[in-house]
Chains A and B, each alone.
Chain A
Amino acid sequence: MTAVPQATARPRTAAGPPGPAPRRRRWHRLAIPLGLVAALIATTLVTHALDRPDPDDRGYLSPVETGEHGGSRLADSLRQRGLTVRRETDARAALSTARTGPPATLFVPAADLLRSETLARLTRLPVGTRLVLVDPSVRVLLATGVPVDLTDRRWATKVVGPQTDGAPCPLDELGPVRQAAAQRQRYEPDAEVDADLCFSAGLARLPGAVETVLVGADDPFRNDRFGEQDNQAFATALLGVHARIVWLDLAGPEPPLPARSSPPPVADSPTTPEAGAETMPPDGNGQGGRPGTPPDGSADGPPRGSAGGPPPNPLWGAFPLWFWAILVQLALALLLAALWRARRLGPPAPEPLPVAVRSAETALGRARLYQRAGARGPAGRTLRSAALARLLPWLNLPADAPQDRVATAVAARTGGEPEQIEELLYGDDPATDEDLVTLARSLDTVTRAVVASPPERSQPVPSPRTDPTEGGPR
């Protein structure tokens, strides 16, 4: 904003004789550092956004995807433990697989791709089933009816220990895990619900008929971070409570409910295992191709097309078009106002200023130096010699008068003990600041007393230098 008026002002004044070089530099002075900072921030944000996988990316946490964001290493690891991993690419098929047979673990890495009706059915699985959701959104939580709130969310995942607020993790299978990258989204259960929190509230388990486990970070499951810290132990332990794992690997958003013409679910269920699911061979030698090769192209076509471009921002539709036009025009008006304010009515008038140093600056500075150095001895000696220089002419004594004579003469004027006066005028250097203040005050009092008392014999000679010198008393 500031650079714009400068840039427009320059051509107008460039014709003037004063050199345009400082003007250009002034513009640079503002633009370069601000531009650098803006570029840094923009680069960081863009890189972070590109680097972070999204649940609707191709192959995101898929057991057959060997890329960075896939889950092939996790699937292999589970299989090595002798567990069965069943990959399902259709939600209905996954649900029916989980219902049949002994209790299973249903692993849903991208629950946001499911429709709300499907989500509601997730919690109506047989008793003993474990449901593992990775970083579910608020919509997922509401649809599944999990009584948990999302609290603060970190910008990047943090490696933490299993404790939450000092309390140990109540999940027994996670016992050997010491450190895992599990804290990104934190959870807070509703007040009346008895939920278990682990990993600084980055993991929440809700007991019930279906045991639901929410994990706030996808990092422990991803191929690229699977080997770090105890991520492997964390992920395999979490999913390995039952011998059978149903892995719901969705290629894109779940298609909407089929029209009335489509076959009912009962009729569909026997065909789905053959068409939509495949039992992974134990060596994990999956075809590695896209899991989303449409089993029935008619249902998969439209959603794939809509997912190709980003969905339009709902904010655009929230206001009428003229509202945005007004905003644009007001911004333009603001730009005009900025251009108007940017042109000043002549440059500021410079002027050399007079010196502002006080005449006693050196004396004051020396006083501060004395104080900082704690120079009580020199200060005391200066004060004493100055007091003597004032007293001696007033007492009609020569400059080299003996100490006791001076002390006696001063004591006679002020009425004190001569020993005390001698100690005051010729004594030791003051040891502390308090002594120095006392000394200065006593010298001041004595000098004033002597000067105030009437002269004894003759008019004192105030100073030997009076003769050729004019000037005021000090």
Chain B
Amino acid sequence: MTWRAALLLAAGALTLPLWPSPFAGVLVMTGGVLLLVLVDRMRAVPPTALSVEREGDRTVRLGGTATVALRLGNGSGRTLRAQVRDAWVPSAGARPDVPPERIVTVPPGDTLVLPTRLTPTRRGDRPAVSLTIRSYGPMRLAFRQRSGRPATPPWTLRVLPRFDSRRHLPEKLARLRIIDGTQVTRGRGQGTEFDTLREYVVGDDIRSIDWRASARQADVLVRTWRPERDRRLVCVLDTGRTSAVRVGDEPRLDTSIDAALLLTALAARAGDRVDLLAADTAIRATVTGSGRPALLPRLVHALAPLQPALVETDFELIAGEILRRQRQRSLVVLFTALEAGALGEGLLPVLPRLAARHRVVIAAIHDPVLTTMTSTTPARAADAYAAAAGWRALAERDRVRAALTRHGVTVVDAPAGALATRLADTYLRLKARAQL
């Protein structure tokens, strides 16, 4: 029954002074209203006669808006009057075009399209949870509603990482081209791999003139060089407990994903082969860089549903997996946190095996709160204690860093906003020095 039934009964109560026997009137009116409610309920379209399906976007970038439509088909011979609530998880940011309070009307045999706009607030897979349809009778005195009828059509919207560091990509690519020697004619391209011979132009480094080739030709020829191609790069994302903590406004894992995407985009342009591995106590995602053209989209899709797990990362597993997959020498970039407990007990024992075959870079996000704690002038006793605790945490990080450095590991420790670009710089320098 609805508010109309209650209102009908309440309005009928006002006529009671006119009845010869008021209590008989109560019985008659209550019975009448209940009868009307029953009749109305019988005449409502049964939920089993409805058909629902979805259509619309499957993916959206974080910050964008997707539209998913619900097609509501009325398979009965009666007109459907219904409230439709299509519930998504709260972080999907669903805003239905038709609010659930409004009653929609679908003629018999017709189909109604109910679009929902979704502006997700978090990365990952955002599912539709439940669909509820409340079918009213023609007088709207009663309704039929059954949970699970019709069944909720499944739909999952994949929210891709925002990839904010995209804006650094043109600058990094320009530097890559300088290193490549393809753009600037003056100065030889940096690198160790012989590329081509070409004619000398004024401004070229005279040290790069190939005298032997010049002797055979009429012109003066210079050698050009280029960095090595087809190197291997492995991005390893630690999705364990240390990746769950918040740095700024998002989990540490999201910053790592952002940096990994920039590095992958850059390395793919530089002609390197990029693999990706995400793991905590189990392998969460793997991407192998065989199909080069679609690498970045594939990578984004693989990274999007990753969520931090509140477990200690098994570095033994990660190292074994890398050593099994990568036979050639590769650049292994490990995205994790510089934390004494997690790295000292997990990573340091397996690091010698890893560093013996591969070049290892550890990308760590450092914490703006620690910087604030140690750099502000203390005003109260609490500040002084905070400064001491902050310095102690930094000293622990330094110890981990020193231990890692002893194994020939490069540590990139940067604030959350700068990690992606710092890491790209490191990659470019290693490439220029042919240390890959």
Give the nearest-CB partner of A370 in chain B. Answer: B385
Q: A352 → chain B, closest Cβ, in Å?
A: 8
Is the pair B384, A383 in contact by a Cβ cutoff of 8 Å? Answer: yes
Of B2, B6, B146, B308, the residue contacting A16 (CB under 8 A) is B146
Interchain nearest-CB distance for B299 vs A (Å): 22
Which among B69-77, B183-191, B316-324, B374-382 touches the partner chain? B374-382
Chain B residues in 8 Å Cβ range of A315: none
B232 contacts chain A at the CB level, 8 A cutoff: no
Chain A residue at smallest Cβ distance from B90: A351
Expressed in whole angstroms, the minimum distance between the Cβ of A298 and any Cβ of chain B is: 40
Q: Enumerate chain A residues within 8 angstroms of B410, measured Cβ to Cβ.
A: 468-470
A382 to chain B, nearest CB (A): 4
Tell me if A363 is interfacial: C-beta within 8 Å of chain B: yes
Contact (Cβ within 8 A) B384 A470: no
**Interface pair B129/A349, CB less than 8 Å apart:** yes
Tell me whether A329 and B12 are in contact in the complex, defined as CB-CB below 8 angstroms, given that A355-B251, A359-B245 are known contacts: yes
Contact A474 B394 (CB under 8 A): yes
Per-residue B-contact encoding for A434-474, CB less than 8 Å = 1, 0 else: 10110111001100000000000000000001001111101
Query: Contact between A347 and B130 (Cβ–Cβ < 8 Å)?
Result: yes
Q: Tell me which of A333, A348, A441 has the highest count of chain B C-beta atoms within 10 A of its own C-beta.
A: A333
* A469 and B411 contact, Cβ closer than 8 Å, known pairs A322-B16, A379-B388, A444-B378: yes
Contacts from A to B (Cβ < 8 Å): 12-13, 15-18, 320-322, 324-326, 328-330, 332-334, 336-337, 339-340, 343, 345-351, 354-364, 366-368, 370-371, 375, 378-380, 382-383, 385-386, 389, 433-434, 436-437, 439-441, 444-445, 465, 468-472, 474
Closest to B409 in A: A468
Chain B residues with CB under 8 Å of A383's CB are 384, 387-388, 391
A-B contact pairs, 23 of them (CB 8 A): A12-B145, A325-B25, A326-B14, A329-B30, A336-B1, A340-B1, A340-B3, A345-B132, A346-B85, A346-B130, A355-B310, A357-B244, A358-B246, A359-B245, A359-B246, A380-B388, A382-B388, A440-B383, A444-B377, A465-B402, A468-B409, A469-B412, A472-B415
Q: Which 5 residue pairs spanning A and B have beta carbons closest together? A: A346-B132, A325-B22, A360-B369, A471-B413, A379-B388
Number of interchain pairs (Cβ within 8 Å): 247
Task: State whether B26 touches A332 (Cβ < 8 A).
Answer: yes
User: Bound state CA distance, A436 and B5, in angstroms?
Assistant: 73
Question: Bound complex: CA of A440 vs CA of B384, how far in Å?
Answer: 6
Query: A-facing mask of B352-367, CB < 8 A → 1, else 0?
Result: 0000000000000111
A329, B401: Cβ atoms closer than 8 Å: no
Complex Cα–Cα for A340 and B83 (A): 14
Contact assessment for B16 and A325 in the assembled complex, using a CB-CB cutoff below 8 Å: yes
Closest to B412 in A: A470
Contact check, A471 vs B422: say whether CB atoms are below 8 A apart. yes
The residue from A12, A320, A470 contacting B411, defined by CB atoms under 8 A apart: A470
Max chain A Cβ within 10 angstroms of own Cβ: one of B10, B29, B33, B85: B10
Q: Contacts A326-B16, A444-B377: A367 and B369 contacting too (C-beta < 8 A)?
A: no
Check B6–A337 contact: CB distance below 8 A: yes
The residue in chain A whose Cβ has the minimal distance to the Cβ of B132 is A346
Q: A354-B251, A355-B245, A472-B418 are in contact. Are A329 and B383 (CB under 8 A)?
A: no
Cβ contacts under 8 Å, B308 to chain A: 354-355
Distance of A8 from chain B, by nearest CB (Å): 10
- Chain B contacts of A367 at CB under 8 A? 373, 382, 385-386, 388-390
Q: Which residues of B contact A385 (CB under 8 A)?
A: 391, 395
Q: Are A470 and B425 in contact (CB under 8 A)?
A: yes
- B246 in complex: contacting residue of A347, A356, A433, CB < 8 Å: A356
Complex CA distance for A333 and B394, rounded to whole angstroms: 68
Measured between beta carbons, the chain A residues less than 8 angstroms from B307 are: 354
Q: How large is the interface on B (under 10, 10 to 19, 20 to 34, 35 or more residues)?
A: 35 or more
Q: Give the chain B neighbours of A357 by CB distance below 8 A.
A: 244-246
B150 within 8 A of A: no
Which residues between 71 and 102 of chain B lie within 8 Å of chain A, taking CB atoms?
Answer: 83, 85, 87-91, 100
A346 to B85, CA, bound (A): 7
Main secondary structure of the interface of A (DSSP, over half): helix
CB-CB nearest in chain A for B252: A359
CA distance A332 to B398 in the complex (A): 74
CB distance from A212 to the nearest CB of B (A): 49
Residue on B with the closest CB to A346? B132
Closest to B413 in A: A471
Decide if A472 touches B388 in the complex (CB within 8 Å): no
Report yes or no: B369 in contact with A358, Cβ–Cβ below 8 A: yes
Q: Are A436 and B367 closer than 8 Å at their CB atoms?
A: no
B377 close to A333 (CB less than 8 A): no
In the assembled complex, how far is the CB of residue B320 from the closest CB belonging to chain A, in whole angstroms? 25
Quick one: given A379-B384, A465-B402, A472-B366, are A16 and B147 in contact (CB under 8 Å)? yes
Q: Give the contacting residue for B129; candidates A350, A386, A437; CB below 8 A.
A: A350
Residues of B within 8 A of A340 (CB): 1-3, 5-6
Chain A nearest CB, measured from B86 CB (Å): 9
B174 close to A (CB within 8 Å):
no
Q: Which residues of A contact B129 (CB under 8 A)?
A: 349-350
Whether A371 contacts B146 by the Cβ 8 Å rule is no
* Per-position binary interface string of chain B over residues 409-435, scored 1 when its CB falls under 8 Å from any chain A CB and 0 otherwise: 111111100100010011000000000
Bound Cα distance A351, B92 (Å) = 10
Instruction: Knowing that A329-B10, A371-B382, A437-B383 touch, tell me 18 more A-B residue pairs with CB under 8 angstroms.
Output: A12-B146, A13-B146, A325-B22, A329-B25, A329-B29, A347-B147, A359-B252, A363-B369, A363-B389, A367-B373, A368-B385, A371-B381, A382-B388, A383-B387, A434-B381, A440-B384, A469-B410, A469-B411
B405 at the interface (CB under 8 A from A): yes
B144 CB to nearest A CB, Å: 9
Which residues of B238-270 have CB atoms within 8 Å of chain A's CB atoms?
244-247, 251-252
Candidates B13, B378, B405, B409; contact of A437 at CB < 8 Å: B378
Assess whether B30 is in contact with A379, with CB atoms less than 8 Å apart: no
CB distance A361 to B245 under 8 Å? yes
**In whole angstroms, how far apart are the Cα atoms of A324 and B365 in the complex?**
74
Interface-centre pick from A360, A366, A386, A468 (highest chain B CB count, 10 A):
A360
Query: In the bound complex, how far is the Cα of B374 from the Cα of A186, in angstroms?
Result: 72
Query: A465 vs B394: C-alpha distance in the bound complex, in angstroms?
Result: 14
Set of chain B residues within 8 Å of A321, measured between Cβ atoms: 22-23
Is B392 interfacial (CB 8 A cutoff)? Answer: yes
A329 pairs with B145, CB closer than 8 A? no
B244 x A354 contact (CB < 8 A): yes
Chain B residues lying within 8 Å of A362, measured Cβ to Cβ, are 393
